Amino acid sequence: MRLNHEQLSFFKRYGYLLVPDVMDQALCAKVRDEMWAALPPDSHLRRDEQATHVGPFRSEDESLDSVHTRQGYRWLNRALGVSAQVIELIYSEAICAMAEQLLDGELRQAVVGGTPMGTQGPAWPGGPTDPAVGTEGARGVYCTLPYGERPREPDACHTDGHPFQLGVVGLLDDTPQGGGAFKVWPGSHAKLYPTFNLRYDQPRIPYYDHLPSFKGIVHTPEYLQAIEELNAQEQPVECYGSAGDIVFWHHRTAHMAGHNHSDVIRQAVLADFWTDKLDELRSSAPDGDMWRDWSSAVQNSDTEISPRFARQQRLPGSDALAVSAFRT
């Protein structure tokens, strides 16, 4: 499976690319089995009783373990990120070949049985788990329980603070529209890229026990302003679909985990790609051509996007694009 010029151009222009039916269906089913098998046997959540799938987790079923977190509506099994099946699924030959078309350099290799994300605990007491620390495989299998009666909330995007170059989210099971799928803001990568201090990384304020109130990732005022504008003015694309579908997304693409207003659990595998050049590139300034350290195929991509392909990619306004193309 190879990406064509239109796909490469679309990724470059909009910072994401939906690619249907990439992951092996039988392996997806096996990973779903692994997810359920990892649940404590006395859990209220039972696979064969759909009524129990609605969140939040009951307090007695919650786990703050950062390699297998169950809290609120989120069920994050990071231990599975180094399982042979998950690595075979999300770092498959086909997906790696497409990532190699996009990136320039030797892809970092995931380690089966290596240390999963979260092994070293949260970034600071009570803080988030840092995907950059001790992660030798995929980020893991991330599920969102149905929200049930929980009121609707507005979308709110962010970017990830750890260094990598290319993200991928793969659906392990069929995920309907409104069912908690990953959301991306088209074109946000180009808007946000120059607002960072560093090309693929971000300055951080260290955490100290005796000075606890000031910590974490440092954002520029320009970045915060741009995020506010994206939330207020731009429509995200929802990456719902069938088991086996994936989305590639650029490191600086604004995104969020969707709200799950369906009656099924959203089950996805998340993974990052980067090359052997990341260590050298991560701290350089985000000036000049943002694609200069991507593949020459990406650098040279400027194919016109057809209205049909834009619609397949669910690009907001692509229906209007199709109409105007028809009229001309």
Stretch touching Fe ion by CB under 5 A, among 60-68, 135-143, 153-161, 262-270: 153-161
130 near Fe ion, judged by CB under 5 A:
no
Q: Which residue number, 184 or 278, has a Cβ lying nearer to Fe ion?
A: 184
Stretch touching Fe ion by CB under 5 A, among 111-119, 152-160, 273-281, 304-312: 152-160
**Token duo for residue 62:** 């919650």
Cβ atoms of 179 and 262 closer than 8 Å: yes
Does the N-terminal peptide bond of residue 20 adopt cis geometry, omega within 30 degrees of 0? no
Q: Which residue number, 217 or 322, has a Cβ lying nearer to Fe ion?
A: 217
Separation of CA 299 from chain center: 23
Cβ atoms of 186 and 237 closer than 8 Å: yes
Name the minimum Å distance from CB 160 to Fe ion.
4
Size of the site for Fe ion (CB under 5 A): 1
160 near Fe ion, judged by CB under 5 A:
yes
Rounded CA separation 247/139 (Å): 15
Name the minimum Å distance from CB 188 to Fe ion.
12
Name the minimum Å distance from CB 51 to Fe ion.
30
Reduce the DSSP state of residue 141 to 3 states and report it.
strand
Stretch touching Fe ion by CB under 5 A, among 65-73, 91-99, 158-166, 203-211: 158-166
- Scanning 40-119, the segments in alpha helix (DSSP H) are 84-90, 93-102
DSSP state of 80: G
Find the Cα–Cα–Cα–Cα dihedral 112, 115, 117, 121, rounded to 10°: 160
Name the minimum Å distance from CB 158 to Fe ion.
6
Name the minimum Å distance from CB 128 to Fe ion.
10
Q: Which residue number, 3 or 274, has a Cβ lying nearer to Fe ion?
A: 274
Name the minimum Å distance from CB 278 to Fe ion.
18
Find the Cα–Cα–Cα–Cα dihedral 155, 161, 163, 165, rounded to 10°: 20
Q: Which residue number, 249 or 318, has a Cβ lying nearer to Fe ion?
A: 249
User: Residues interacting with Fe ion, by CB under 5 A?
Assistant: 160
